[in-house]
Amino acid sequence: MIYLGVAALALAGCKQGDPQLGKASIDKVVAAMTLEEKAQFVIGTGMAGTDGQSAVIGSTKAIVPGAAGTTRALPRLGIPAIVLADGPAGLRIDPTREGDDATYYCTHFPIGTLLASTWNQELVENVGQSIGEEVHEYGADVLLAPALNIHRHPLNGRNFEYYSEDPVVAGKTAAAYVRGVQKNDVGTSIKHFAYNNQETNRTGNNAIISPRAQREIYLKGFEIAVKEADPWTVMTSYNKINGTYTSQSKDLVTTVLRDEWGYKGTVMTDWYGGDDAAAQMRAGNDMLQPGTDLQYEQIMAAIKDGSLSEAELDACVKRILNLVLRSPKMKGYAYTNKPDLQAHAAVTRQSALEGMVLLENRANTLPLKNVKNVAVFGCTSYAFIAGGTGSGNVNRAYTVSLLDGLKNAGFNVDESKKDMYLKHIADEEAAFKATLHDALAAFYPTPRPSEIVPSAAELRASALTNDVAIITFGRNSGEFFDRSSADFSLTDKEIALLKGVTAAFHAVGKKVVVVLNIGGVIETASWKNIPDAVLLAWQAGQEGGNSVTDILTGKQSPSGKLPMTFPLGLMDAASSANFPIDADTGVYFTNRRKDIGQKDVDQTDYAEGIYVGYRWFDKQNLAVSYPFGYGLSYTSFEYSEPAVENDGKTIKATVTVKNTGAVEGKEAVQLYVSAPAGTLDKPVQELKAYAKTKALKPGESQQVTLTFATADLASFDEAKSAWVVDAGTYAFRFGASSRDIRCEASAEVAASEVKVNNVLGK
């Protein structure tokens, strides 16, 4: 319906003889555009309800209300506007429309971090396919996802959208997601390219990073996603890299992305990113979203004074036209506004199971056995968190709480406290909102409600009438804000609740399970031995309570593993030396606030280089609470027959995995490589490939094959500006986690060197 409106407009404006997009060549269409039309075409159509300058996340009323932006229509030349809408946990559009009784809810799928925790690329691709169907059926053309910045520091407020501290996990997960979404003939936008590793002053911060760390850690995932999945678009980030806004860096956008990686798609800015539209055009950042008048003026002025050539502008215009040409809008797709929400609810419920990580399970507490009556504690049990806040949030129809999930599965749950909990949560939320007066009030992640600690007598009574206790601890975060150091630890009340419940239940021989409904890493070492089991549920989407219950009851054995390290303490992470921990900014957020002269606010020195995550903990031989790749199962696995072959082009590693336990389960198999001593300083080991077994029955085995290019053994040598593989014997280590290597094999590898452009330096 809506498309017909656009098409009719296109026809109405069409003059006889004008070349039409899709009928005439792109070159002809560009030749028919005036300079003014070109300068308008590369910028978006603005954003509803803003003056074009304020830092409010994307929302436009045009075509698909609540989408983040649209491109310019040019009816005269048969060019429709296409719709760009947010992800990544699902499509983000308005759920209701003025004067319309219909609803436009989208499915809230698990957060990115949970998807990465599945270590299952096929599963991620299936989730992507379901998300893409909603994009297609709700009339959007490009999903502004996936987001794959590296988890450099535990407190980055957007880590929940991102995948991992490791670039291979980030890149492979993103590639799978892109393939899935794009199966629907809609586009994706891998973001934020690149180095967007903090929210504090995200639009002005200058990331100082060595070329080696850029190439090996921060760009690698993007390279994998571009080469393996060919996303329709790439979104540059807000921050600067070594002094230049990423969207204005020709090194990054043209030399590396296009020339070296062979990317042929379209590049767009993040919303209002950068400060010089002509420099963005010169860099090859084709489209400026959501678009401002100032950008139009900058482009026209630069053409006039010769600092931007019309050929440079044309190149950007053509790449946007290519994008429009492949869009559903261009093809006149008659979208239904009726995606299969029921089927997708089943997809999110099921896929969430595989990304939940069982952290502790003493004396086989889980799955629950002989349990009928369940005592539920913790505010979050009553108000589950589906996902983080900001543009990565989804307007879902509902969220299943833990309480409801347990009830749905037939447990008796004491509901007498439900109203009290819900009122307490609502009251604290309202009191907090009343203190907010800035433009971002709607996006500020509400602090978690203060925990309610029942009296010892109440807990005793509960322990007598219930078979088990479950406590949920929640944490939420989102765009614009990094988490605080306080958010990293459990509060005194949370600890009091945990200790109180455990004392009461253990006194009568009953068990206590902690569920973590969180979006980022927290401190666990000081309390993890108090309860009997700890399940890291992440933020599992709208079916969260049902998914957690499916794991608790053993419907499926957990098979998620950590895509990041859980350190003993916050300061153990090397990046803690240079991250705006609790930065004293004086405002709720520091976006667009420039030059306030604070270390890590204006400028962040990535002094740790490549030593991010496990690369650092391994180098220092530091104890951690849970290592990268860790996760328990209800069954056990044995690894045997490790083998590796190198034909000079490809490494092919195989290992046999056998289910040696009593129930069916899947295992995420990780392949780490240790290089021989060479000229460069090298990590102790690096993940190079991984795979998940099928569901193995007790006693069943599977040979798992892991392949990757021999050239991927290279490290980046800045002095030579080359990827260098040292000759020698490499160890190929098959691990159930980075610190649980089960067996290994070795292979000889010959030296090789691939020179690349000497760019991206200071």
Per-residue interface string for the shown chain with ligand BGC, residues 18-57, x marking contact by CB under 6 A: ---------------------------------------x
Residue 592 has which token pair?
Answer: 């667009």
List binders of ligand BGC among 625-644 (CB under 6 A): none
Check binding of 391 to ligand BGC (CB under 6 A): yes
Q: Which is nearer to ligand BGC, 157 or 355 (CB)?
A: 157
| Residue 709: strand pairing partners | 650
Q: Which of 271, 481, 606, 617 binds ligand BGC (CB under 6 A)?
A: 271
Q: Nearest 5°: CA angle at 303, between 300 and 308?
A: 120
What single-letter DSSP state applies at residue 288? Answer: B
For 111, left (φ over 0), alpha (ψ -120 to 50), or beta? beta
Instruction: Report, in Å, the least distance between residue 32 CB and ligand BGC.
Output: 31
Please check whether residue 428 is in contact with residue 449, taking contact to mean a CB–CB distance below 8 angstroms.
Answer: yes
β partners of residue 665: 696
Nearer to ligand BGC, 68 or 317 (CB): 68
Side chain identity at 686, as an amino acid letter? E
Compute CA 527 distance to the chain's CA centroid, rounded to the nearest angstrom.
28
* Least distance between ligand BGC and beta carbon 144 (Å): 4
Alpha helices in 384-540 (DSSP H): 402-408, 418-433, 456-465, 485-488, 492-507
Binding residue for ligand BGC (CB under 6 A) from 134, 137, 270, 602?
A: 270
Of positions 21, 26, 68, 453, contacts ligand BGC by CB under 6 A: 68
Tell me whether residue 144 or residue 234 sits nearer to ligand BGC (CB atom). Answer: 144
Indicate if the alpha-carbon torsion angle 145, 150, 154, 156 is positive or negative. negative
Rounded to the nearest whole angstrom, what is the least distance from the CB of residue 57 to ligand BGC in the complex?
4
Q: Directed axis angle between helix 220-229 and helix 167-182, to 10°?
A: 30
Q: Site map for ligand BGC, 433-472, x if CB under 6 A?
A: ----------------------------------------
- What is the closest distance, in whole angstroms, from the C-beta atom of residue 271 to ligand BGC in the complex? 4
CB-closest chain residue to ligand BGC: 58
Least Å distance, CB 94 to ligand BGC, is 13
Task: Give the nearer residue to ligand BGC in terms of CB position, either 292 or 625.
Answer: 292
3-class secondary structure, 678: coil
- For ligand BGC, the binding residue among 19, 44, 46, 58 (CB under 6 A) is 58
> How would you label 597-633 residue by residue, b for 16+ Cβ within 10 Å and e otherwise?
eeebbbbbebebbbbbbbbbbbbeebebbbbbbbbbb
Quote the CA–CA distance of 302 and 310 in Å, as a whole number. Answer: 10
Report residue 103 as tokens: 């609803």
Taking the least distance from each CB to ligand BGC, the nearer of 222 and 271 is 271
Q: Are 68 and 391 in contact (CB under 8 A)?
A: yes
Near ligand BGC in 472-491, by CB under 6 A:
479
Nearer to ligand BGC, 88 or 567 (CB): 88
Side-chain-facing half-sphere of 731: CA atoms under 13 Å:
16
CB-nearer residue toward ligand BGC: 479 or 487: 479
DSSP state of 176: H
Q: How far is the CB of 291 from ligand BGC (least distance, A)?
A: 12
Provide the mask over 84-113, with x wherever binding to ligand BGC is found by CB under 6 A and - wherever it is not: --x---------------------------
Please state the closest distance from residue 626 (CB atom) to ligand BGC, in A: 29
Say how far apart CA 587 and CA 437 lie, in whole Å: 11
User: Nearer to ligand BGC by C-beta: 148 or 352?
Assistant: 148
Which one, 289 or 559, has the nearer CB to ligand BGC? 289
Residue 412 parent element (H or E):
strand 412-413
Between CA 233 and CA 258, with CA 83 as vertex, the angle to 5 degrees is 15
What residue type is assigned to position 540 of the chain?
A
Rounded to whole angstroms, the Cα distance separating 737 from 672 reads 9
User: What does R_g of the chain's alpha carbons equal in angstroms?
Assistant: 26
**In the complex, minimum distance from the CB of residue 571 to ligand BGC, in angstroms, rounded to a whole number:** 28
Least distance between ligand BGC and beta carbon 469 (Å): 39
Question: C-alpha distances in angstroms, 622 versus 150, 177, 485, 561, 735?
Answer: 21, 33, 21, 20, 18
* Start-to-end Cα distance in the chain: 52
Which residues does the annotation mark as catalytic?
270
Name the minimum Å distance from CB 237 to ligand BGC: 8
CA distances from 225 to 146, 167, 193, 221, 356 (A): 10, 10, 12, 6, 24
User: Among residues 354 and 479, whose Cβ is nearest to ligand BGC?
Assistant: 479
252: DSSP letter:
I
Hey, which residues does 645 pair with through a beta bridge?
652
CB closer to ligand BGC out of 271 and 690 = 271
Q: Enumerate residues 127-146 that contact ligand BGC by CB under 6 A.
A: 144
CB of 272 to ligand BGC, least distance (A): 8
DSSP letter string over 500-524?
Answer: HHHHHHHHTT-EEEEEEE-SS----
Query: CA-to-CA distance for 442 and 478, rounded, in angstroms?
Result: 12
Q: Please pick, from the candidates 38, 76, 108, 191, the single residue that binds ligand BGC as defined by CB under 6 A.
A: 191
Q: In the structure encoding, which two tokens stand for residue 50, read together? A: 């803003």
Q: Where are the beta strands (DSSP E) in 537-685?
A: 566-567, 603-605, 624-626, 637-646, 650-659, 668-674
* Nearer CB in complex with ligand BGC: 192/220: 192
> Whole-number minimum distance, CB 84 to ligand BGC, in Å?
8
In angstroms, give the least distance from the CB of 419 to ligand BGC: 36
Cβ proximity to ligand BGC, 360 vs 479, nearer residue: 479
Centre a 10 Å sphere on the Cβ of residue 728 and count the other Cβ atoms it contains. 14
Let me know if 492 is exposed, middle or buried by CB neighbors in 10 A (0-12, 13-18, 19+). Answer: exposed
- Strand pairing of 468-474 and 373-377? parallel
Count interface residues toward ligand BGC (CB under 6 A). Answer: 10
Q: What pairing do the DSSP bridges indicate for beta strands 69-70 and 468-474? A: unpaired
- Using CA atoms, how far residue 457 sits from 169, 532, 728, in Å, is 48, 22, 67
Q: Please report, as ranges, the residues that interact with ligand BGC according to CB under 6 A.
A: 57-58, 68, 86, 144, 191, 270-271, 391, 479
